[in-house]
């Protein structure tokens, strides 16, 4: 296992940095916001807490939560226009700095493609660098499930995305940054995991992560000190 100093070295020399989105790049949990918007907020927030704590499989939790919400295409679009996701302070500057250094930035999320792509546009991240879950709708716009073939739809899926990126782009050093258990599980194959507690602190992640931050300025400083 890499020491903290070695992890900082990996981060400074990374070919690619993958960010979780909900409660990391943005301040809220997208699925909880969608649930609130659709009138089932409390029940779904409790399910999210259990999923993030790692006590149920991700796919089971996602299926149950979406089965309760049953969002229509129109509701998802209205959520994005009426309550756009709020970027976490410091993320825009960090992503800009990584881009200036020639580092590829990816958004790897158990959230929803349409919401995550909206976030990617704000951060000048190409939509091709977004890996997230796709909601399915019937021709009349009613909820029809989600694409269960996406790697991000299941536990261990973020690790599969990192493996795919390493194979496709021959990255040597890939960093994963996120707040939850599914982010921590992605290393390995990721080379370094940085736990983020700036929006919400997951006890399990804080206890196990060797490198844990609460503000993105801490990572900007690491890049400046070089």
| Same domain, yes or no: 88 and 77 | no
| Same domain, yes or no: 109 and 138 | yes
pLDDT digits (tens, 9 = 90+) for 44-67: 877 767 665 656 777 888 888 899
| Same domain, yes or no: 202 and 111 | yes
pTM: 0.89
Whether 42 sits among the annotated catalytic residues: the reply is: no
Last residue of a domain, one of 42, 58, 82: 82
| Same domain, yes or no: 66 and 111 | no
| Same domain, yes or no: 184 and 207 | yes
Looking at 20, 32, 179, 183, which residue is catalytic?
A: 20
| Same domain, yes or no: 215 and 141 | yes
Whether 179 sits among the annotated catalytic residues: the reply is: no
Count of domains for the chain = 2
* Domain harbouring 98, CATH code: 3.40.50.1000
| Same domain, yes or no: 45 and 149 | no
Looking at 22, 32, 179, 183, which residue is catalytic?
A: 22
| Same domain, yes or no: 90 and 78 | no
Q: What is the CA radius of gyration of the chain?
A: 17
Q: Which residue has the tokens 């400046």?
A: 224
| Same domain, yes or no: 68 and 148 | no
| Same domain, yes or no: 129 and 75 | no
Which pLDDT tens digits describe the chain residue by residue (226 residues)?
568 788 788 888 889 999 999 899 998 888 888 998 988 998 887 776 766 565 677 788 888 889 989 999 999 999 999 988 889 999 999 999 999 989 999 999 988 998 899 999 999 999 999 999 999 999 999 999 999 888 888 878 899 999 999 998 999 999 999 998 888 888 889 888 999 988 877 878 878 878 888 899 889 888 885 5
Distance CA 145, CA 184 (A): 27
Last residue of a domain, one of 82, 115, 149: 82
User: What angle, 0 to 180 degrees and rounded to 10, lies between the N-to-C axes of helices 30-37 and 73-82?
Assistant: 110
Give the domain extent around 53.
Answer: 34-82
* Domain harbouring 72, CATH code: 1.10.150
């Amino acid at each position: 296992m890499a020491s903290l100093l070695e992890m900082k070295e990996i981060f400074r020399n990374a070919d690619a940095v993958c960010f979780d989105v909900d409660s990391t790049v943005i301040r809220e949990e997208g699925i909880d916001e969608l649930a609130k918007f659709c009138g089932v907020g409390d029940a779904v927030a409790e399910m999210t807490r259990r999923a993030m704590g790692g006590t149920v499989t991700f796919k089971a939790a996602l299926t149950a939560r979406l089965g309760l919400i049953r969002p229509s295409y129109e509701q998802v679009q209205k959520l994005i226009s009426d309550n756009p996701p709020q970027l976490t302070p410091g993320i825009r500057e960090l992503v800009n700095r990584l881009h200036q250094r020639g580092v590829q930035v990816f958004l790897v999320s158990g959230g929803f493609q349409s919401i995550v792509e909206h976030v990617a546009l704000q951060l000048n991240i190409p939509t091709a660098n977004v890996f997230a879950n796709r909601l399915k709708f019937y021709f009349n716009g009613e909820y029809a499930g989600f694409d269960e073939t996406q790697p991000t739809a299941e536990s261990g899926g973020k690790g599969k995305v990192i493996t795919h990126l390493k194979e496709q782009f021959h990255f040597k050093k890939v960093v994963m940054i996120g707040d939850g258990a599914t982010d921590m599980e992605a290393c390995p194959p990721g080379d370094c995991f940085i736990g983020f507690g700036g929006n919400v602190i997951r006890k399990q992640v804080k206890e196990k992560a060797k490198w844990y931050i609460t503000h993105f300025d801490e990572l900007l400083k690491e890049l400046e000190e070089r």
